[in-house]
């Protein structure tokens, strides 16, 4: 009902319409007289009853979809959560589907009021796309507010300068509520009412006649700057409190007018993504909203089961290690190279497109001079070799480039495994310095001083020799190589007939030499027959032997007995080796095994006729009896004649006759000498 109130003004009386009272009145007095309700019951009483009955209108939960009910005595009012409207919150804004069947969808609205400098853009969003156009506010001169998806996150930009990006991802296929708030000084971005960030901005002014683009622009090229046309669903789009309805509700709500809508459909039904059989290799497809998931067989992986787990199918021989590639698989192993007959040759299959800018290998050898890899075409060539026990790279490639020469600082001819990685420092350029990494260590000498080209001349029509310079060319390798890779493409040791499954990779090097490699890494039979002598045992240390010698023998082959005289066992004598023992030749006056005992020189003396033995140093002398003489007192002592006087005394021995005149001796037969 409607009541009236008379308001007295200076100019006269004005009739003002106000809502009629709803509720109960009690103890009403008019002119101090109680007015009894029964007296009101007349033709003038409208919608009035006796008593005061009241029922909570919200008890029946009339508000649907989580709407909040407010009791209005005789009625109720529902406060509806977005995206619902209507008396009972029963009406839902129709969702707009963009990009259905990969179509180019967009919508255009016109702003019919002056929104001013405070703008709030809000919407519900659902998508699986990483990038795409969401919304642009534009006037006749510029796009002053932009909203789009980038890497699964919401980005908003004001005046082509200030930009915010959400921390949360919104491309998971769930429904996300996104809002952008612009006031006079700040731009704030929310996802699910969680603040994602804010930035200070210049004032923006939205006016009547401005245009709102949703999902894309009319020109495809212009939309591509935002990641292309949007694919997904948008619901309950609002600018401030004004709705932007793609499809009108039966309930009357105010909305900015829709100017144009292209390829936008009602509802948010997902595309049956499984209808195109996206799952490969026998995978089972399950449709999700606007997406699909594949249940893959046990030997496949990837979103579409496109990655076959080749190695789980055991395609390689027993001695090889299977490695899954981006496309296909490869069997990695080692091979033994013995001489020129072991050299292998390869050629590209004619479908190699990638740039070849590296060589990777593992090496084991004791040879100090050998070629590991060699290829040449005209003036271009590449050689990886061992020289003087060091690893060398020599490369001539690219027009006008100089020859690259590299060598390792550490030797590789020690019989141990060594990993080798040779690569261009800047492979995206025509010429570059090359680097050598040995056993995963880089040193200052590992980079070339000059610049050289790449290895693209090996792609097709060039023989790559592995393990030497070629058959009967000499300089062959004696040792082992792991699987060598050129530009990440293997030089395989196994032919297609030796593996269980075909290699499906597009780019391959094919073995062209007829002789199969010696699989595995084995050294020569250095202990057969045993080179160790004198009972020594031979130990094979891969292409080298060590002899463990029996006691008393030494030398590389146990060919020399141990130097038993090295400790100088003869104390007073000279030592000589006698077989596994020694013998001492003692100095005069000493005896014993080690000449350690001093001999009694008089023990077996030869002093005769009662001569007395006198001890000396290492010898003895005889003191003879009166009638004997000689070293051993074995000669009789003959008479002595004396001539001269006291001043000169001249004696002749052994019965020689002394002459006084010239003081000389005349000797008897058998004697000689002056005396």
For the whole prediction, is pTM greater than 0.75? no
| Gap between the Cα atoms of 217 and 135, Å rounded | 9
| Gap between the Cα atoms of 396 and 382, Å rounded | 6
Same domain, 294 and 211: no
The residue written with tokens 């009853």 in the block is 49
Same domain, 158 and 112: yes
**Mean pLDDT calculated for residue range 338-361:** 93
Q: pLDDT tens-digit profile of 168-209? A: 999 998 999 999 999 878 899 999 989 999 998 888 888 899
- CB proximity list for 609: less than 8 A, separation 6 or greater: 624, 625, 627, 628, 633, 634
Phi-psi region of 514 (alpha: psi -120 to 50; beta: other; left: phi over 0): alpha
pLDDT recorded at residue 475: 87
Same domain, 160 and 109: yes
Above pLDDT 90, what percent of the chain? 45
Same domain, 406 and 427: yes
In a domain, 378, yes or no: yes
CATH code where residue 204 lies: 2.60.120.200
Lowest average pLDDT, out of 4-18, 26-40, 53-67, 419-433, goes to 4-18
Same domain, 355 and 451: yes
In a domain, 643, yes or no: no
pLDDT recorded at residue 1: 41
CATH code where residue 281 lies: 2.10.25.10
Q: pLDDT tens-digit profile of 434-443? A: 999 999 887 6
Buried b (16+ CB within 10 A) or exposed e, 228-241: bbbbbbbbbbbbee
Phi, psi of 345 (to 5 degrees): -130, 145
In a domain, 563, yes or no: no
133: containing domain: 93-266
Q: pLDDT tens-digit profile of 218-236? A: 888 889 989 999 999 999 9
In a domain, 451, yes or no: yes
In a domain, 533, yes or no: no
| Gap between the Cα atoms of 125 and 237, Å rounded | 9
Confidence at 309, pLDDT banded by 50, 70, 90: confident
Q: Kind and range of the H or E element at 623?
A: strand 620-623
Q: pLDDT tens-digit profile of 380-407? A: 999 999 999 999 999 999 877 789 999 9
In a domain, 605, yes or no: no
Instruction: Determine whether 287 is exposed, middle or buried from the number of CB atoms within 10 Å of its CB (0-12, 13-18, 19+).
Output: middle
Q: Compute the C-alpha angle 450/452/455, nearest 5°.
A: 155
Nearest to 135 by CA among 210, 217, 79: 217
Average pLDDT, the chain: 87
Same domain, 242 and 277: no
**Mean pLDDT calculated for residue range 552-562:** 84
Same domain, 444 and 401: yes
Between the alpha carbon of residue 293 and those of residues 232, 298, 593, the distances in Å are 18, 15, 96
Same domain, 383 and 407: yes
pLDDT recorded at residue 33: 83
Confidence at 11, pLDDT banded by 50, 70, 90: low
Q: Compute the C-alpha angle 214/218/220, nearest 5°.
A: 105
pLDDT recorded at residue 494: 93
Q: pLDDT tens-digit profile of 565-582? A: 877 889 889 988 877 778
Same domain, 262 and 302: no
Confidence at 629, pLDDT banded by 50, 70, 90: confident
Same domain, 124 and 232: yes
Q: pLDDT tens-digit profile of 474-505? A: 789 999 999 999 999 999 999 999 999 999 89
Lowest average pLDDT, out of 13-27, 279-293, 541-555, goes to 13-27
Q: How many domains does the chain have?
A: 4
Nearest to 186 by CA among 167, 162, 210: 162
């Amino acid at each position: 009902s409607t009541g009236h109130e008379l308001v007295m003004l200076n100019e006269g009386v004005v009739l003002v319409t106000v809502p009629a009272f709803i509720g109960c009145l009690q103890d009403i007095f008019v002119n101090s007289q109680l007015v009894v309700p029964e007296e009101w019951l007349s033709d003038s009483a409208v919608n009035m009853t006796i008593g005061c009955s009241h029922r909570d209108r919200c008890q029946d939960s009339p508000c649907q979809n989580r709407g909040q009910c407010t009791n209005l005595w005789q009625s109720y009012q529902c406060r509806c959560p977005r995206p619902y409207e209507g008396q009972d919150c029963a009406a839902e804004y129709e969702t707009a589907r963009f990009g259905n069947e990969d179509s180019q969808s967009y919508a255009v609205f016109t702003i019919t009021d002056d929104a001013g400098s405070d703008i709030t853009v809000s919407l519900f969003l659902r998508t699986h796309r990483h990038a795409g156009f969401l919304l642009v506010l534009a006037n006749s001169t510029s796009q002053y507010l932009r909203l789009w998806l980038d890497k699964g996150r919401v980005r908003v930009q004001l005046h082509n300068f200030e930009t915010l990006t959400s921390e949360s991802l919104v491309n998971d296929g769930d429904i996300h509520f996104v809002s952008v708030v612009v006031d006079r000084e700040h731009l704030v971005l929310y996802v699910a009412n969680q603040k994602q960030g804010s930035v200070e901005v210049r004032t923006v002014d939205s006016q009547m006649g401005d245009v709102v683009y949703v999902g894309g622009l009319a020109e495809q090229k212009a939309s591509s700057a935002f990641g292309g046309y949007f694919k997904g669903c948008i619901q309950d789009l609002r600018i401030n409190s004004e709705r932007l309805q793609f499809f009108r509700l039966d309930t009357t709500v105010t909305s900015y007018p829709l100017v144009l809508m292209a390829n936008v459909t009602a509802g948010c039904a997902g595309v049956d993504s499984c209808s195109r059989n996206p799952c490969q290799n026998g995978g089972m497809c399950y449709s999700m909203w606007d997406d699909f998931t594949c249940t893959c067989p046990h030997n496949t992986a990837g979103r579409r089961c496109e990655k076959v787990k080749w190695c789980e199918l055991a395609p390689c021989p027993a001695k090889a290690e299977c490695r899954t590639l981006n496309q296909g698989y490869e069997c990695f192993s080692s091979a033994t190279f013995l001489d020129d007959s072991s050299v292998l040759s390869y050629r590209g299959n004619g479908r190699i497109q990638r740039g070849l800018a590296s060589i990777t290998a593992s090496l084991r050898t004791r040879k100090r001079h050998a070629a590991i890899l060699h290829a040449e075409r005209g003036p271009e060539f590449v050689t990886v070799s061992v020289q003087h026990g060091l690893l060398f790279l020599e490369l001539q490639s690219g027009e006008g480039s100089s020859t690259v020469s590299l060598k390792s600082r550490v030797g590789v001819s020690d019989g141990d495994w060594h990993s080798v990685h040779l690569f261009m420092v800047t492979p995206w350029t025509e010429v570059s310095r090359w680097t050598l990494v040995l056993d995963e260590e880089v040193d200052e000498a590992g980079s070339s001083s000059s610049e050289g080209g790449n290895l693209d001349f090996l792609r097709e029509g060039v023989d790559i020799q592995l393990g030497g310079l070629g058959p009967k060319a000499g300089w062959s390798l004696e040792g082992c190589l792991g699987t060598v890779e050129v530009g990440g493409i293997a030089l395989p040791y196994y032919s297609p007939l030796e593996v269980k499954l075909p290699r499906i990779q597009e780019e391959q090097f094919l073995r062209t030499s007829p002789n199969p490699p010696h699989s595995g890494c084995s050294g020569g039979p250095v202990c057969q027959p045993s080179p160790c002598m004198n009972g020594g045992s031979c130990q094979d240390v891969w292409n080298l032997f060590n002899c463990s010698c029996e006691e008393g023998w030494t030398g590389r082959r146990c060919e020399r007995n141990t130097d038993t005289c090295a400790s100088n066992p003869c104390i007073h004598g000279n030592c000589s080796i006698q077989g596994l023992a020694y013998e001492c030749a003692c100095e005069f006056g000493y005896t014993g095994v080690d000449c350690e005992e001093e001999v009694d020189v008089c023990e077996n003396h030869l002093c005769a006729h009662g001569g007395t033995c006198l001890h000396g140093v290492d010898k003895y002398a005889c003191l003879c009896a009166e009638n004997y003489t000689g070293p051993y007192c074995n000669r009789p002592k003959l008479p002595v004649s004396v001539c001269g006087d006291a001043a000169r005394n001249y004696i002749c021995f052994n019965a020689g006759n002394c002459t006084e005149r010239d003081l000389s001796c005349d000797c008897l037969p058998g004697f000689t000498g002056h005396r």
